[in-house]
Chain A
Amino acid sequence: MAFDKMELRETEVWDGNFAAAQALRQAQVDVVAAYPITPSTPIVEGYAKFLADGYVEGEFVMVESEHAAMSGCIGAAAAGGRVATATSSQGFALMVETLYQASGMRLPIVLNVVNRALAAPLNVNGDHSDMYLGRDSGWIQLDAYSPQEAYDLNFIAFKVSEDHDVRLPAMVHQDGFMTSHTAQGVKTIDDDTAYGFIGDFKPMNDMLDFDHPVTHGVQTEEDWHFEHKARQHNDLMTKVMPKIQTAFDDFEKLTGRKYNIVESYDMDDADVTVVCMGTSVETAREVAKEMRAKGIKAGVVGIRVFRPFPFEEIKAAFKNVKAIAVLDRSAPGGTPGAMFNEIAGALYNTDERALLSGYIYGLGGRDLTKAHLVDLYTELQANVDAGKVTTPLQQFIGVRGPKLAFL
């Protein structure tokens, strides 16, 4: 079966969902098994339309749940194909059991997660609850801050995930609605170049290779389970980051667009900095520039690779800064935010430990305004001036009612 190429303009105005769908088309994904859910629906819908219109050679498998969607992806990946799907929120939660199966079986699958709040109360808007729910699942997690990045990072995800030294599934995250349904200019890559960057899918231990029969999804008890998990963790800790860096380097050579494992903006001489993920990174960049005009040396750090966690890169990013605000867009459920804890862990044994405070913000899509960020930087500068954290360790931004602060 042949397929048609698509002529793209140099810059298309796409939302994050359509950008991801175009990337799946250009990657010529063999199998998408999907159970659509807001706000990720247009990604798999887009793939299905490209397939029906003859722009991709593949298979769309309609299933009865997200659990079945990921199970279908696992089957197809084990059979030996290029596989992807998309989900959000409750769908992601229902997938969790199978996420561990996918990574434990070392199957390259690309999952676009359009980040959305977790019920209850039911909410379709963007926060990072689902992304955080996946953080121990053994997947690679890349985070996009804009439609352009949702497009680009899909190519990175396929390249790294399918590498025979990696063989781990990868998620590409984007913020529900704030990226997924926001149309912006996206610089495109032509079909041949995009496909060429990833290359043909090279199967490994594929079940359809009948000359070399293999078993996937075996049972191991106390005799081998630990070794399998340890090996997987070892590869996440040692092999994945260099592959991501190489993919970023190659991608920059191809497109001129540079990605980093940890993104640092205005950090060379920054006194105060915000660290966050998603669209908030870009908004904070704009506010940091405005703070500098007011005499506060503000910077921004964005986490591009959430898993494996960039422990060393974080240490380097915060080397000379005096006060850090860690922004977690997920309800931590009775503890400091997850990213706060991890960054605290990364910095604890460094010599120049900056003043560290944590903020919970943006749950259920609550707006993070520039005014919020101005207040935040001002508060951080006050910490620097006082030489200590003058506020409680954990505060909430943008929630109504009495001010919430803990610890």
Chain B
Amino acid sequence: MLEIRWHSRAGQGAVTGAKGLADVISTTGKDVQAFAFYGSAKRGAAMTAYNRVDDQPIMNHEKYMEPDFVFVIDPALVYTTDVTINAKENTVFIITTHLSTEELVASQPKLEGKTVYTVDCIKIAQETIGRAIPNTPMLGAFMKISEMYEIEFFKENMKRILGKLPQKIIDANMLAIQRAYDEVK
């Protein structure tokens, strides 16, 4: 079982990202689950979304999770929420920030001793898609760190999932995914 927790603000696309990732993984025959805590679902409110992936049918519906990966797609959430809650010793953190990994860990002591990667998904999204929607770049970074799939395979599938959007937006998302894949450290 692979488990992922997303930290996001409502409106930044964590749910879409989690569902998109689940869809791609599902095409390879694995069982998937993608869900979120909505709370009162106000735009901009801190929220979490979740993925489960397994070779077996996933029966577990508990919301409690000790994640293998934590994605943080809004830079401020590292300080305003506890992104390390219920983490395991080997949990991998991929965090959106303009800081370097060293600077980030220095600014948030809870991340000390954890496996932390950083990438500026907000900047990448703004420069490619034209809006601060950091969900698809985060998945590009995840592909690099996890080595789950070849990036081309992943992008081909994401093209299908984003299929209803205008071609320009799809192309921009592909650029964003590739850039985050290349830039995550």
> Residues of A with Cβ closer than 8 Å to B?
11, 13, 15, 124, 175, 177-178, 181-185, 279-280, 282-283, 285-286, 367-371
Contacts and interface: CB of A to CB of B under 8 A. Distances in A.
Contacts of B34: 13, 182-184
Contact of B58 (A175, A184, A280, A371): A184
A177 B62 contact: no
A350 B152 CA distance: 63
Interface stretch (B25-33, B101-109, B112-120, B138-146): B25-33
B60 A183 contact: no
A282 B62 contact: no
A253 B31 CA distance: 24
Sorting the interface of chain B by its residue count into under 10, 10 to 19, 20 to 34 or 35 or more gives: 20 to 34
Given A285-B59, A286-B60, A178 B35 contact: yes
A283 B64 contact: no
Given A183-B34, A185-B32, A13 B19 contact: yes
Contact of B36 (A13, A181, A367, A371): A181
Nearest to B61: A279
A367 B64 contact: yes
Interface string B57-93: 0111111100000000000000000000000000000
B32 A13 contact: yes
Contacts of A183: 18-19, 22-23, 32-35
A282 B36 CA distance: 18
Closest 10 CB pairs of A and B: A279-B61, A182-B35, A282-B59, A286-B59, A183-B34, A13-B23, A367-B63, A369-B64, A369-B62, A183-B19
Contacts of A286: 59-60
A177 B26 contact: no
Contacts of A175: 61
Given A283-B62, A370-B60, A181 B22 contact: no
A371 B31 CA distance: 23
B62 A370 contact: yes
Interface of B: 18-19, 22-23, 26, 31-36, 38, 40, 58-64
A182 to B, nearest CB: 4
A11 B26 contact: yes
A177 B59 CA distance: 16
Nearest to A373: B62
Given A13-B26, A178-B61, A370-B60, 18 more contacts: A15-B19, A124-B38, A178-B63, A182-B33, A183-B19, A183-B22, A183-B35, A184-B58, A279-B61, A282-B61, A283-B60, A283-B61, A283-B62, A286-B59, A286-B60, A369-B62, A369-B63, A370-B62
8 contacts: A13-B19, A13-B22, A13-B34, A182-B33, A184-B33, A286-B60, A369-B63, A370-B60
B5 to A, nearest CB: 14
A283 B38 CA distance: 21
Contacts of B23: 13, 183
Most buried by A among B38, B59, B61, B63: B61
